[in-house]
A and B are shown apart, each in its own frame.
Chain A
Amino acid sequence: DADVTQTPRNRITKTGKRIMLECSQTKGHDRMYWYRQDPGLGLRLIYYSFDVKDINKGEISDGYSVSRQAQAKFSLSLESAIPNQTALYFCATAGQPNTGELFFGEGSRLTVL
């Protein structure tokens, strides 16, 4: 089983719909991250969390929100999806002591029509 699991793996939705992407991890890591990947732009950080009570914005947080329900779970929500949020979304974790090494899930491909 994967250490970092994302659901759903693929989702097609319509503009204006609310979407939640979920991430769970069995690595026991404190730090969790959400990135999006777009062709030609690389991966960009949306939100990150150091523990259950800690949420931080990344470089492209507008239009997104997150929830850290437990140490092992970190969900990303799009309250009202728009087409330019079509992308591949990755969850990642990092442990303590933090060496800066990240471990990624397999990604969630979201298409907003």
Chain B
Amino acid sequence: KQEVTQIPAALSVPEGENLVLNCSFTDSAIYNLQWFRQDPGKGLTSLLLIQSSQREQTSGRLNASLDKSSGRSTLYIAASQPGDSATYLCAVNRNTDKLIFGTGTRLQVFP
């Protein structure tokens, strides 16, 4: 059974720091991996989608990497801002039908 773990569970940093959020999964036979952002009381917003054949994806200050063999993905946030404060979730997709989610990393960036 696929299990997805995110470390750390919570993170509080001053503005301007570069951050790394970690996601690990137990079954490397995945179709893709997706990173989401969730703001309090809101739904999930897709940030980056990495197909199993890709090593990384970039969008603005965000960079996500994927190492299938080791069952790991990292989300790198450059020059963090207070507006980045949210919960970040990773999810793996085994067969395009269902996502398995991690429990998230709650990020707070203070001025």
Interface residues of A (CB under 8 A from B): 4, 33, 40-45, 48, 56, 58-59, 90, 92, 98-107
Contacts and interface: CB of A to CB of B under 8 A. Distances in A.
B43 A100 contact: no
Given A100-B34, A100-B93, A40 B103 contact: yes
B103 A42 contact: yes
Q: How large is the interface on B (under 10, 10 to 19, 20 to 34, 35 or more residues)?
A: 20 to 34
Contact of B89 (A4, A42, A58): A42
B41 to A, nearest CB: 8
Contacts of A106: 41-43
Contacts, number: 58
Given A92-B44, A100-B34, 5 more contacts: A4-B43, A42-B104, A43-B91, A99-B51, A107-B43
A43 B89 contact: yes
Contacts of B43: 4, 90, 104-107
Report whether over half of chain B's contact residues are helix, strand or loop; otherwise say mixed.
Answer: strand
Contact of B46 (A41, A90, A102): A102
Contacts of A58: 98
A100 B31 contact: yes
A99 B32 contact: yes
Nearest to B39: A106
Contact of B49 (A45, A48, A100, A107): A100
A100 B103 contact: no
Contacts of B98: 33, 45, 48, 58-59
